[in-house]
Chain A
């Protein structure tokens, strides 16, 4: 931002002049934060789609009913409080005195409008558990779920509230270009691929943001992001390149901040009687011992140090410890530590001492070092006689290719993150028996089926109480860790470069939020 330089200079001169006239009074200078993102936002309409840059903008411009904080804890947002009326009915009391950027007051009708529009949008998935919703009065909303569903508040954290009057006045075409929400910032300008400028919304219900203006600049090339940080054009950069970590850390006036991300890299194992890429009458992976052997043959620590430069966190379970369903004390890495002898013995015991051949489907441009990890897996599994053929493809092809019923896949590497802080949605879509329940097992790519798991997921999805849900899901976790339908590998690390003087704590969900950031000087 060169614009910043003269402005800053002017600001400094003005401050200096003022300081001369009024010694002792530090002028409340306008604070600007400039952030380097990896890509421009695609949408400013939260119901048009989602990806990281857009999500970051959404939470500046709009508010959800329930707010998810930096550590995935859920608390009041535009809804001040909520209670269960019966097993499927929730009553939300809306906050009073909230206004939209256009000056309209926030009412129950806006929530109704938001849900109506969402149901017909590309993002209808966000409201998949919501059956009906009604405005009881101006400040009260009742939401009925299809079945008792304890994680409803978590889901609501992803639904951002629109203003009916505005949406109807500007029309669908303009929703992307003229966002109006109740969020702490409002749009000043959006020059595609160059910058998005947001100004603090002075009427924000929780008090105006300390930082008056946030400028987001999309810089796709990692080296350019680093350069722009070092030249002072940026205050924070997202996804600092691994190559530049040492350089930035060594430089005076900058620090590197890391945090494990939510994205769990996982390997799905096919357990159908016959597997598409395995030329044998029975699929060896139907035998639990073979699955365990594969888990033990994968050296996650080597992947971490050699391929990820130390910037990954080996996964203990399928979800991180912050989540509902996380089983205290259980650790996949301790249950199945890297041990080639044991792995070979298991293969021999199962009758596959000579191994077999199968194909790994993986991306080559979606996850950090995905292609290298796939190659490492091939050489690791060759140690126990498994010849792994690699089928790497760009992500545009990948997700259609591996789509359930996964007719071409035996072994799939993909990432999964659960920002809702609840393992239930992941378990229901990945591990529920295929074809038995509508809306379940959409991504059960290995065709895993276990009546006990189904029963527990059903139980979890039929209680409105979080503690009970947690207990059921923890049991599922325990069974899954025993059964190994999927091998969790690691969480990628989120890496930021930050200028000194910026107080910045990365969020678990990666949705950088200027409202929580402070500028010290």
Chain B
């Protein structure tokens, strides 16, 4: 286990390093950030002054080594546009994103797993067919369309929820959250539902596939014959054995939603970090993009690590090496 953790840590450092190199290289093709921050009719002298202020007067390799050097001292660089530490800009927006992602994942799992188990255990029933075609719809509907429809009906037509924004927040250990106020929840629900639709559909289909796979196994029939209740067989034996792919997909989806909830955030005016990435790409704000993508890589590595541990808990035959 210890060796495994060390191995994973080394892997992580390599991944983060690769991300930083790739982003640096890519950003050298995406235009000159200087022209994003100063008026376009600036004179040569003013452009030079701006380059000096932003640290763009050095070569790309030099900039990269300065970046690495600062990184080792815990300095992640300063945004060209905001003139503030890039990491602060991201962390400031992270809680809002985590909030809708967590709610979305809870919604997705609590609905997807029971429905998936049902559809997998009773493939022929009309309700199962309905569930399956519903899930197909969930996969194929684009998130922005679902979001706009929810806003149209729940905010504009029926006036049940507000259309956008984050609403009242309460600070818990210095981190603002909307999940402790009624007003906050009224703002969270629509974006969280929008975000959950795709994941819900995928998890449901994976659960069903897993259930259909295991329900053909002899131990299922044997358990039933032994007198275990149908429910006990389905959840205790069936689901548990069909869970490995579900957990894998869950992890990937979780990382994906945290990193790229951009569209949903934009539609609902949700102050999360996904929008920051898009804006930063648009403004050629390299320091923010580098730190953002490194953070995303970190999140994926950590989630996958936790999922691996989870495997061993679900199936004791699996050991991490």
Whether chains A and B associate is yes
Q: Which residues of A contact B (CB under 8 A)?
A: 1-3, 39, 42-43, 45, 48-50, 120-125, 128, 173, 176, 191-195, 217-221, 223-224, 227-228, 230-231, 233, 365, 394-401, 403, 425, 429, 438-439, 442-443
5 A-B pairs with C-beta separation under 8 A: A2-B168, A42-B81, A122-B49, A191-B166, A442-B41
Q: A193-B271, A399-B31 are in contact. Are A176 and B82 (CB under 8 A)?
A: yes
Q: A220-B266, A221-B266, A396-B36 are in contact. Are A2 and B164 (CB under 8 A)?
A: no
Known: A125-B41, A233-B163, A429-B41. 9 other contacts (CB 8 A): A49-B81, A122-B50, A124-B49, A176-B82, A194-B96, A219-B269, A231-B155, A231-B163, A442-B44
Q: A176-B82, A191-B271, A194-B165 are in contact. Are A396 and B31 (CB under 8 A)?
A: yes
Decide if A396 touches B49 in the complex (CB within 8 Å).
Answer: no
Q: Which residues of B contact A219 (CB under 8 A)?
A: 164, 269
Q: A176-B83, A233-B164 are in contact. Are A125 and B39 (CB under 8 A)?
A: yes
Measured in the bound complex, the distance between the Cα atoms of B40 and A443 in whole Å is 8
Tell yes or no: B307 within 8 A of A by CB. no
Most buried by B among A50, A230, A400, A401: A400
Q: Which residues of B contact A (CB under 8 A)?
A: 30-44, 46, 49-50, 53, 81-84, 89, 92-93, 96, 148, 151-152, 155-156, 159, 162-168, 183, 186-187, 266-272, 275-276, 279, 281-284
> What is the CB-to-nearest-CB distance from B145 to chain A, in angstroms, rounded to a whole number?
11
Name B37's contact: one of A45, A49, A218, A438 (CB within 8 Å). A49
Q: Which residues of A contact B156 (CB under 8 A)?
A: 227, 230-231
Name A193's contact: one of B30, B46, B155, B272 (CB within 8 Å). B272
Name B43's contact: one of A42, A220, A442 (CB within 8 Å). A442
> What is the CB-to-nearest-CB distance from B274 to chain A, in angstroms, rounded to a whole number?
10
B84 nearest CB neighbor, chain A only: A176
Decide if A218 touches B284 in the complex (CB within 8 Å).
Answer: no
A4 nearest CB neighbor, chain B only: B162
Decide if A192 touches B159 in the complex (CB within 8 Å).
Answer: no
A172 nearest CB neighbor, chain B only: B83
> What is the CB-to-nearest-CB distance from A58 to chain B, in angstroms, rounded to a whole number?
15
Name B282's contact: one of A1, A125, A173, A394 (CB within 8 Å). A394
> What is the CB-to-nearest-CB distance from A429 to chain B, in angstroms, rounded to a whole number?
4
Measured in the bound complex, the distance between the Cα atoms of B41 and A122 in whole Å is 13
Measured in the bound complex, the distance between the Cα atoms of B162 and A3 in whole Å is 10
> What is the CB-to-nearest-CB distance from B159 to chain A, in angstroms, rounded to a whole number?
6
> What is the CB-to-nearest-CB distance from B290 to chain A, in angstroms, rounded to a whole number?
15
Most buried by A among B40, B44, B93, B281: B40
Q: Which residues of B contact A194 (CB under 8 A)?
A: 96, 165-166, 269, 271
Decide if A223 touches B148 in the complex (CB within 8 Å).
Answer: yes
Decide if B271 touches A192 in the complex (CB within 8 Å).
Answer: yes
B82 nearest CB neighbor, chain A only: A42
Decide if A3 touches B183 in the complex (CB within 8 Å).
Answer: yes
Q: A125-B46, A193-B93, A396-B31 are in contact. Are A227 and B155 (CB under 8 A)?
A: yes
Decide if A365 touches B282 in the complex (CB within 8 Å).
Answer: yes
A-B CB pair tally, cutoff 8 Å: 146
Q: A125-B41, A442-B41 are in contact. Are A231 and B269 (CB under 8 A)?
A: no
- Going nearest first, the 8 A-B pairs with the smallest beta carbon separation are A193-B271, A400-B32, A397-B31, A194-B271, A399-B35, A396-B31, A396-B284, A219-B269
Decide if B42 touches A220 in the complex (CB within 8 Å).
Answer: no
Decide if B165 touches A1 in the complex (CB within 8 Å).
Answer: yes
> What is the CB-to-nearest-CB distance from A226 to chain B, in angstroms, rounded to a whole number?
9
Most buried by A among B30, B31, B269: B269
Name B163's contact: one of A39, A228, A442 (CB within 8 Å). A228
Most buried by B among A45, A219, A365: A219
Q: Which residues of A contact B272 (CB under 8 A)?
A: 193
Measured in the bound complex, the distance between the Cα atoms of B34 and A158 in whole Å is 21
Decide if B282 touches A396 in the complex (CB within 8 Å).
Answer: yes
Q: A125-B46, A219-B269, A443-B41 are in contact. Are A192 and B92 (CB under 8 A)?
A: yes
Q: Which residues of B contact A217 (CB under 8 A)?
A: 164-165, 269
Name A224's contact: one of B40, B82, B163, B284 (CB within 8 Å). B163
> What is the CB-to-nearest-CB distance from B234 to chain A, in angstroms, rounded to a whole number?
42
Q: Which residues of A contact B42 (CB under 8 A)?
A: 125, 442
Q: Which residues of B contact A3 (CB under 8 A)?
A: 167-168, 183
Q: A176-B82, A233-B163, A443-B41 are in contact. Are A224 and B35 (CB under 8 A)?
A: no
Measured in the bound complex, the distance between the Cα atoms of B267 and A442 in whole Å is 39
B54 nearest CB neighbor, chain A only: A122
B186 nearest CB neighbor, chain A only: A2
Measured in the bound complex, the distance between the Cα atoms of B187 and A48 in whole Å is 33
Q: A2-B167, A365-B282, A398-B31 are in contact. Are A227 and B151 (CB under 8 A)?
A: yes
Q: Which residues of B contact A227 (CB under 8 A)?
A: 151-152, 155-156, 163-164
Most buried by B among A128, A176, A396, A443: A396
Measured in the bound complex, the distance between the Cα atoms of B42 and A425 in whole Å is 11
Measured in the bound complex, the distance between the Cα atoms of B271 and A252 in whole Å is 31
Decide if A128 touches B43 in the complex (CB within 8 Å).
Answer: yes
Decide if B269 touches A220 in the complex (CB within 8 Å).
Answer: yes
Measured in the bound complex, the distance between the Cα atoms of B53 and A123 in whole Å is 11
Measured in the bound complex, the distance between the Cα atoms of B163 and A224 in whole Å is 7
Measured in the bound complex, the distance between the Cα atoms of B73 and A359 in whole Å is 48
Q: A227-B163, A396-B283, A442-B42 are in contact. Are A193 and B36 (CB under 8 A)?
A: no
